[in-house]
Structure 1
Amino acid sequence: MSAKIETEFGRAIPPAPRHAITFHLPLWSNLLRFVARDQELLGQLKSVYPRMMMNKDVKNLAAAILKHMEAAENQILFIFASSSSAAECVEFAINPKRGENVVPPEEISIRVFDIHVRLHTVLFPAARYPTLNSFWQNAGTGISSRLAEECLDRINLLHQVIGDSTPPPKVEQSPAHGQIQERIAGLLERAPVGPSREAKVSPEDVYLFKTGMAAIYGLHRYLLKKQNGGSVLFGYAFHSTLHVFDDFGPNFRLFALGNEQLNELENYLTSEIEEGRKVQAIWTEFPANPLLVTPNLGRLRKLANKYGSLLIVDDTIGSFCNVDVLGVADVVITSLTKSFSGYADVMAASAVLNPSGSRYTELKSMYQEFYRNDLANPDAVALEHNSRDYLARSKILNSNTLRLVEYLQTKAADPTSTVSKVYYTTTSPSLPYYKERMRPATADFTPGYGCLFSFEFDTLDAMAAFYDNANVHFSPHLGAHWTLALSYVKGIYGQDLAAVKPYGLKETQMRIAPGLEDIELLIKDFEKGLVAADATRVKET
């Protein structure tokens, strides 16, 4: 067995650098407090997932700006790198769709400041934080911790900008941006699936964003500005993705059961056309988080063609070293925060246009009109460095994940075990759809099935015992260097379990993102938790 984890509650997984994006949440009792959004517990976190809550550097920068402007003590500041993000934050808060949580326009304002960069800030009363934090979490466009650190180092230069006549400080883009774009373009064109494509992806087709949600939110907003049409999400996806479509734009429809609802989807697309509306885009994850169901992209492509919709595929879980969805997607969205980065210390994303797609010219023009590169230079530098060993790490992640899945499948087949089911690409009836887009093996890399799976216990007591005894870190995130476990459904939907139960999401499911550890030691780390889980059945009898 590997050494016992000594990471303290609320701290990031080792080596826990300044800009870590994880936090360790040991003990089932702490998870229950997290589900209840216990403010005392949340306040004890030394590290946070920056899109969930403001990182320490971002908080300190906000405090410095509030002090500079002599704001009242009950005021909070959100900081953005672009004027459009700040304006959209305000628009979100004052929209009557917020219902009883709507923020009166007179309570919220935008202030602009210069340091070595221009900062667009949104000022609002602390009592309105829950409403505004929904935008921070789901749009993912807030300032990064590395850029906040740079600003803090130059805080003596801080001054407010009044009016529109003062040009912003000039910031030269880091060479790392171009290096990342070239790397991604090369990865998307290595070992392609299917017939030769008419055009190859160029670095100019790769658009970088500060978070995965920012890439999704950004494209969705661009489409709304051009078409203001409805959207379809096919398959139950990552929770923030649903919020983006639900909170922004008209006529959002979720087909949570995915492939089981293909005929329903076609009927819906037909009815929208008959009503004089068009679905602007069909979005899907390949495969879906957290139950690893793979959508039938071939059928979705045909429906998109027939009804004039874009097909947008999030390949984060499959990862573009393993799968090639560019042959069917109009746009490929990838959270680079995950396995592409791999070290849990930087956030970023890409949106890649398919240059062979029939809508390429239209999409290219749209990005040229609306896109702004808000990925800060220090984040790009960190991401470029981290992603140099992407293929080597992905080989280990694929292998470790498959071995753990096979190990847990033997438990699920054992009637004496409290493990009842394993959810992975290889265990799903949708596996053939994954294999259709799986890249062929090459001399340097053999594709696999990704670095995320879930498994289910037959009782909540068993899962709680596993949580308290398994020798792994418990934290949101995937694709990191250390294995991360998360009671995803309980932790994310713990206050609304009935709403997601029809979609196969159960509070007894544990989501696992294996890391780079020695697999034999990792299995033993899991075994300790499973022994404790099985002991709960003995107590019951």
Structure 2
Amino acid sequence: MAFANENDVEVGETIPPMTEHAVSVSLPTWRANVGYEEGEEWVLSKMKTGYPRFFIHKSIERFAVDIVAKCGSAGERAMLFPSYAAASRCLAFFNRQVPELDQRQVRVLNLVPEAEKARSEKLAIISPKISAVIFPKDHFRTAKTYWQHSGDGISSRRAEFCHDLFTKGILVDLATLSDSSRFCKGPRRYQKKTSIDITSLTDKPNGTAEPQDPTRFVEERFGRNLELSLTTNAKLAVRRRIAGSLTADVGLPEALTLEKDVERTRKVVDFSEDDVYLYPCGMNAIFSAHRNAMTTKGQLKSIVYGFPYIDTLKIIEKFGPGCQFYGFGSSEELDDLEKRLESGERFLALFTEFPGNPLLRSPDLERIRSLADKYDFYVVVDETIGNFINVNVLPYGDIIVSSLTKVFSGDSNVMGGALVLNPKGRHYDKLKRTWDEEYEDNHWAEDSIFLERNSRDFISRIERTNANAETICDVLRAHPRIKQINYPKYSDTRPFYDKCRTPNGGYGGLLSATFYTKEDAVAFFDNLDTVKGPSLGTNFTLSSPYVILAHYGELDWCKSWGVDANLVRVSVGLEESSKLVKTFTHALDAISK
């Protein structure tokens, strides 16, 4: 009987299909992925969206075009940010990268609600504002580099909402307002408040507030009524889930009445949601961790240990004094680090993933923590792949970061990031003061509401993807044409993973496979009946030729660190296990044929 292909999604279609704010995009064949990287028109012309930091959403681009048309000049483009502080960082990046441009050529335009037109509950609470960096269009690559690496850019939902206000003349150039009606918010030292401007929120640290009664409503341009209090409470619920003190799969009103510490998944004394900070995306959390670490300790090189997600390394290399890169994540590299430290070399922080992406190797956090305590550097752990239901890395890190876009959300329709400070870390007081001074909440209101709704059942979803991933690993490991399966359970670094594994934790939903030949890899991928595109942690199984997609311009460099160009990465979803077995068996059969 012929195998029925259920997941044919056209090149360039959103994933999930017909989803306006989708996080992923369909690249269903090996050739399509290469065509995307090569800039081939047959792929690019069909792209309805892309991964948000690599592809500027069309809603954002339309808004940027209108801003330039009204406030800029011919030959200019704009990159949009949620605050003046974020735009100023982009401007500083421009000044470093292209110092010959003057302030007339690269400048910040601040758009804020005009006082008379903005007297509504809606705008007072959501506080929409945009800071646009306007620059000569020939330097788009510089602006795009900052956008991609930093994660500081606006979300597509914010763009749609604010574009509507801009079109109606409600969002205007700050420079055109009288002094009495001006405001421009940045970090706290610039009279900052959170992006949701509620007095009861901003009077307390880290955007905390008591839950409010859902008595007020706002008519959104999307045709829905939205309870204003959900904006505040959604963020509080998300932060409690990340803190491990809210684990029940219940609606928002009930969630906020539950006892906070009924069941704690992060076993660190005194840890609470007050030490959890939300960011527009996971990379922005990493970017902020590096920037604020330099604020506290000065301009020191950092260490990246283990083969990392591409932009983590780029941040360390481009936004500081340099990087000591240990791409294998081996014990021998820790030996080398220890020798450097013993000889007097000093570092700002060690950045690592637990486990790494895409090789799923786990670092020896216990040894790293010991070195950090002895030689005084921060430990920053990205727990996105492991996730805190499976592993508890907080005792070993000073700062824990995570992408909430992935399995925490699952629905592939909203971006988010989190950063956690360890209250028992030796540097906690210094770091906490810095975050209290520097942090601004730029996670857009509607994004927060989607994130809260999506994450209510994240624990049960993680348990299911754990089981499904192990099942798929068993199928792949039994096939003679598979060269290697990368999964924490079957890695030689499993002891390091198990040391951090929670009592009921599994090994995650992400795995990767390599093949003896490129032809086998292509045959497997093209015949694998899953949706295919960037991202991971989705509720549906999502596959990609990850190294081609993430590192196309540096394949030889990847190979030097043991990362095969023909690797296929699979983020296992919630489908029935028996169905997944048939899907992967069919793809393996295609290799034999």
Q: Does 1:362 align with 2:430?
A: yes
**TM-score using structure 2 length:** 0.83
Q: What does 1:242-261 correspond to in 2, within 5 Å?
A: 242-260=313-331, 261=333
C-alpha spacing 1:119/1:525, structure 2 compared with 1 (3 Å): same
Q: 1:509 aligns with which of 536, 542, 567?
A: 567
Residue 133 of structure 2: SS of its match in structure 1? strand
Q: Does 1:473 align with 2:473?
A: no
> Is the 8 Å Cα contact of residues 187 and 320 (structure 1) preserved in structure 2?
no
Q: CA deviation at 1:64?
A: 2.2
Q: CA deviation at 1:437?
A: 0.6
Aligned to 2:518: 460
C-alpha spacing 1:205/1:367, structure 2 compared with 1 (3 Å): same
Residue 258 of structure 1: SS of its match in structure 2? coil
Moved over 4 A (4+): 187-193
Q: 1:171 aligns with which of 197, 200, 213?
A: 197
Residue 293 of structure 1: SS of its match in structure 2? coil
> Is the 8 Å Cα contact of residues 279 and 285 (structure 2) preserved in structure 1?
yes
Aligned to 2:304: 233
Q: Find the aligned partners of 1:129 and 1:67 in 2 and give their Cα distance.
A: 17
> Is the 8 Å Cα contact of residues 36 and 495 (structure 1) preserved in structure 2?
no
Aligned to 2:19: 17
Aligned to 1:430: 493
Q: Find the aligned partners of 1:383 and 1:492 in 2 and give their Cα distance.
A: 25
Aligned to 1:538: none
Q: Does 1:152 align with 2:215?
A: no
Aligned to 1:491: 549
In structure 2, give the amino acid aligned to 1:30: A
Q: Does 1:207 align with 2:277?
A: yes
Gaps of 5+ in 2: 114-122, 186-195, 199-230, 247-260
Q: Does 1:104 align with 2:101?
A: yes
Aligned to 1:4: 6
CA deviation vs aligned residue, 1:394-446 (integer Å, no higher than 9, x gap): 111111111111110111xx3xxx211101101111001111111113xxxxx
Q: Find the aligned partners of 1:192 and 1:203 in 2 and give their Cα distance.
A: 13
Q: 1:162 aligns with which of 175, 200, 217?
A: 175
Aligned-residue CA RMSD (Å):
2.0
Q: 2:405 aligns with which of 337, 349, 373?
A: 337
CA deviation vs aligned residue, 1:1-28 (integer Å, no higher than 9, x gap): 6652232211122354211111010222
Q: CA deviation at 1:59?
A: 1.3
> Is the 8 Å Cα contact of residues 352 and 380 (structure 2) preserved in structure 1?
yes
Residue 16 of structure 2: SS of its match in structure 1? coil
Q: Find the aligned partners of 2:133 and 2:581 in 1 and give their Cα distance.
A: 47
Deviates more, 1:234-243 or 1:16-25: 16-25
CA deviation vs aligned residue, 1:207-245 (integer Å, no higher than 9, x gap): 100000000001111122232222111111100111000
Q: 1:66 aligns with which of 60, 65, 68?
A: 68
CA deviation vs aligned residue, 1:287-307 (integer Å, no higher than 9, x gap): 000000000000000000000
> Is the 8 Å Cα contact of residues 324 and 438 (structure 1) preserved in structure 2?
yes
Q: Find the aligned partners of 2:29 and 2:360 in 1 and give their Cα distance.
A: 26
Deviates more, 1:385-394 or 1:75-84: 75-84
Q: Find the aligned partners of 1:529 and 1:162 in 2 and give their Cα distance.
A: 60
In structure 1, give the amino acid aligned to 2:290: H
Residue 154 of structure 1: SS of its match in structure 2? helix
Aligned to 2:457: 389
In structure 1, give the amino acid aligned to 2:110: V
C-alpha spacing 1:309/1:528, structure 2 compared with 1 (3 Å): same
**TM-score using structure 1 length:** 0.91
CA deviation vs aligned residue, 1:458-517 (integer Å, no higher than 9, x gap): 111111122222111111111101111111112222222111112111112111101111
Deviates more, 1:1-10 or 1:389-398: 1-10
Identity %: 32
Q: Find the aligned partners of 2:42 and 2:110 in 1 and give their Cα distance.
A: 32
> Is the 8 Å Cα contact of residues 234 and 452 (structure 2) preserved in structure 1?
yes
Q: Find the aligned partners of 1:364 and 1:27 in 2 and give their Cα distance.
A: 47
In structure 2, give the amino acid aligned to 1:83: Y
Q: Does 1:84 align with 2:85?
A: yes
Q: 1:319 aligns with which of 364, 387, 394?
A: 387
Deviates more, 1:430-439 or 1:251-260: 251-260
> Is the 8 Å Cα contact of residues 191 and 439 (structure 1) preserved in structure 2?
no
Q: 2:342 aligns with which of 266, 270, 284?
A: 270
> Is the 8 Å Cα contact of residues 239 and 273 (structure 2) preserved in structure 1?
yes
Number of corresponding residues: 513
Q: What does 1:30-41 correspond to in 2, within 5 Å?
A: 30-38=32-40, 41=43
Residue 327 of structure 1: SS of its match in structure 2? helix
> Is the 8 Å Cα contact of residues 16 and 412 (structure 2) preserved in structure 1?
no
In structure 1, give the amino acid aligned to 2:523: A
Q: 1:224 aligns with which of 268, 282, 294?
A: 294
> Is the 8 Å Cα contact of residues 545 and 567 (structure 2) preserved in structure 1?
yes
Q: Find the aligned partners of 2:42 and 2:329 in 1 and give their Cα distance.
A: 39
Residue 162 of structure 1: SS of its match in structure 2? helix
In structure 1, give the amino acid aligned to 2:109: R
Q: CA deviation at 1:38?
A: 3.2
> Is the 8 Å Cα contact of residues 79 and 143 (structure 1) preserved in structure 2?
yes
C-alpha spacing 1:36/1:270, structure 2 compared with 1 (3 Å): farther
Q: Find the aligned partners of 2:325 and 2:477 in 1 and give their Cα distance.
A: 31
> Is the 8 Å Cα contact of residues 102 and 131 (structure 1) preserved in structure 2?
no
C-alpha spacing 1:521/1:103, structure 2 compared with 1 (3 Å): farther
Q: Find the aligned partners of 2:552 and 2:452 in 1 and give their Cα distance.
A: 37
In structure 2, give the amino acid aligned to 1:214: N
Q: 1:448 aligns with which of 506, 509, 513?
A: 506
Q: 1:405 aligns with which of 464, 469, 473?
A: 473
Q: Find the aligned partners of 1:344 and 1:16 in 2 and give their Cα distance.
A: 12
In structure 2, give the amino acid aligned to 1:231: S
Residue 330 of structure 2: SS of its match in structure 1? helix
Q: Find the aligned partners of 1:356 and 1:24 in 2 and give their Cα distance.
A: 43
Q: CA deviation at 1:269?
A: 2.4
Q: Does 1:142 align with 2:142?
A: no
Residue 124 of structure 1: SS of its match in structure 2? strand
CA deviation vs aligned residue, 1:117-176 (integer Å, no higher than 9, x gap): 221111122221122111111101100111112113323113111189412597336221
Q: CA deviation at 1:377?
A: 0.8
CA deviation vs aligned residue, 1:190-221 (integer Å, no higher than 9, x gap): 5658xx64x32111110100000000001111
Q: Find the aligned partners of 1:473 and 1:187 in 2 and give their Cα distance.
A: 34
> Is the 8 Å Cα contact of residues 7 and 14 (structure 1) preserved in structure 2?
no
